[in-house]
Structure 1
Amino acid sequence: MLRGLYDWTLSLAARKSAEWWLAIIAFVESSVFLVPADVLFLPMSLSRPGRAYRYALVATIASVLGGIAGWFIGHYAYDALARPILEFYGKFDEFEHLRLSSGDGIILLMLVTSGLAHLPPIKVVTILAGVVGFPLGWFIVSAVVARGARFLLLAWLLRRYGESIRDFIEKRLGLIAGLAAGVLILLYIIVKYIA
């Protein structure tokens, strides 16, 4: 099922309506959808490198708006919508553990790491932020910074290196972003507990 969903999402890049589909996928990825917007963003930017930054802007805005929707789902519709979504993806137990052990600092850190590297998945963090009442203003700022940085970096890499960087991005960007997220977590721990 997941491979079919991935292939369908990838096929949207060839359509005239691809930019609209990018916005829709980026929006729903941040609150309920399993496939990341990168699947559509990468081929679109490779086929039209002159529009890579435009696509990054579309993906960032839609992703942030989707994150806000996830925040509202968590804050106002946890039992009606959020819990069934989390159970469907098998993330409910992980979510409950995070909900019970997370303060504002951890939520902010997760927003940045999930926005940059999908660690943990962005939809889990947006819903969690709403459930615990993380301040919406800080949520929006962190989402703009993290998601914007991710899509703009991808746009820059694709414009600069073209098709040759695609394989690298698809296979290793998650690892690199994960390492960067690990450094952020380590810095947070150092500042919080040592300094």
Structure 2
Amino acid sequence: MKKIIFATSNEGKLAEIKKILGDLKVEILSLKEANINVNIEENGTSFEENAIIKAKTICDLTGEIVFADDSGLEVDYLDKAPGIYSARFLGENTPYSVKNQYIIDKLKDVEENDRSARFVCVIACAFPDGNIITRTGVIEGYIAKKISGSNGFGYDPIFYVPEYNCTTADMPLELKNNISHRGKALQAMKEVLLKHI
């Protein structure tokens, strides 16, 4: 069976990935499962650059096919912050409950039309032959007025999707995986993988 390393230590992210790519005949390993402990400096200026840095670093280290994603929340009212700094926003060890409340407080008196936001995900796939392919997924929505929902992780409890009248943390996981930024990027990457494995 082919092996793919997904360069993440985020358990929530890994569970999503394994579910979406579950029908591929490949073994998907996290960095921990592959016994890789390396500190990668994400010093790119875009989601794409950071995803490529992570995928290439681990691919060069292992000689395996490596997936890496860089994703985050862009809030238009906050000049697209937290953006590529989503994981490190307000400090790397700050709980998302605090980050989410901070964003809601910042938009306290802001009308819905000005609360527009999106989740962006870029997935990079690095092959041992040096080839690197990227795919992008985006989901548009608004910042909710309050934290809601217990599914998902990160900023899901404040990201409201008007078509479904709920946050992505209120959605059943199957629906979220179908419409999310990561789901869209992974589906696109799945097409690439089917040609290469």
With normalisation by structure 1, the TM-score equals: 0.29
More strand by share: 2
With normalisation by structure 2, the TM-score equals: 0.29
Query: Which of structures 1 and 2 has the larger relative contact order (alpha carbons within 8 angstroms, sep 6+)?
Result: 1
